[in-house]
Amino acid sequence: DVKVTQSSRYLVKRTGEKVFLECVQDMDHENMFWYRQDPGLGLRLIYFSYDVKMKEKGDIPEGYSVSREKKERFSLILESASTNQTSMYLCASSPSIIRGQVHFGNGTRLTVT
Amino acid sequence: QKEVEQNSGPLSVPEGAIASLNCTYSDRGSQSFFWYRQYSGKSPELIMSIYSNGDKEDGRFTAQLNKASQYVSLLIRDSQPSDSATYLCAAGGYQKVTFGTGTKLQVIP
């Protein structure tokens, strides 16, 4: 079974803090993704990566950056957290987008106060 | 225009009935299509994938794809209260997957 592990289930941070969300997958998948999910807006893609050290902007990259130094690990960074970044963050991985399934981690509920 | 559109619901069906969930997509380059189920407070889990026109059945679930109409559907037969969840439709193209906002299904005992 594919396992996508997010480091924290719940996180509370203050406005202006730098926040790191970590994600590790154990299936040697090429593709990794960060989504945020908000009521009424669904899943929105923040960034994705199709290879080590490669990254592509998704639909809402503003205020975020990512790092992929190793194939199994994909980190999301909030450089200066703001209250409008309070959300559920979901990491996912996939072997191939054309034929492959996207597997999600359990999510991190981030609250910025 | 949203790339993947779904009716947000809620869709209410009695236990034992067929639930029909629909989805349209705008990108004709999409090549793979998925249905995910998401229980409240949980992450989405894949329940069906479909890649070619026609029907694909798996137990009580049937996914249908019509690329000419850019339409995907999910039928759930003999609906159970445990099927109550939000169902997300997704379309996969080059490098990324785009999700709809989901349809909330309520199965009434």
Confidence (pLDDT) at B8: 82
pLDDT in tens, B50-63: 999 999 999 999 99
User: Which residues touch A84 (CB under 8 Å, ≥6 apart)?
Assistant: none
| DSSP β-bridge partners for residue A19 | A78
Confidence (pLDDT) at A95: 84
CA B86 remoteness from chain centre? 9
Confidence (pLDDT) at B98: 87
Residue-by-residue pLDDT tens, chain B, 109 positions? 668 999 888 999 999 999 999 999 998 988 899 999 999 989 999 999 999 999 999 999 999 999 999 999 999 999 999 999 999 999 987 767 889 999 999 999 9
- How close does chain A come to B42, measured CA to CA in Å? 7
Give the count of Cβ contacts less than 8 A between chain A and B: 58
Between A33, A94, A104, which is nearest B43 by CB? A104
Check CB contact under 8 Å for B43 and A90. yes
Task: Name the E strands within chain A.
Answer: 4-6, 10-13, 19-21, 23-25, 31-38, 42-49, 56-57, 64-70, 73-78, 87-94, 103-104, 108-112
Query: Nearest residue on chain A to B102, judged by CA atoms?
Result: A42
Query: Nearest residue on chain A to B42, judged by CA atoms?
Result: A106
Residue-by-residue pLDDT tens, chain A, 113 positions? 769 999 999 999 999 999 999 999 998 999 999 999 998 888 999 999 989 989 999 989 999 999 999 999 999 999 999 999 999 999 999 887 665 688 999 999 999 99
Task: Give the span between the Cα atoms of A62 and A71, in whole angstroms.
Answer: 24
Confidence (pLDDT) at A24: 97
CB < 8 Å to B94, chain A: 97-98
CA dihedral of A42, B81, B35, B21, whole degrees rounded to 10: -80
Check CB contact under 8 Å for A98 and B32. yes
Confidence (pLDDT) at A69: 95
Tokens 């349209």 found at: B24
End-to-end CA distance of chain B: 36
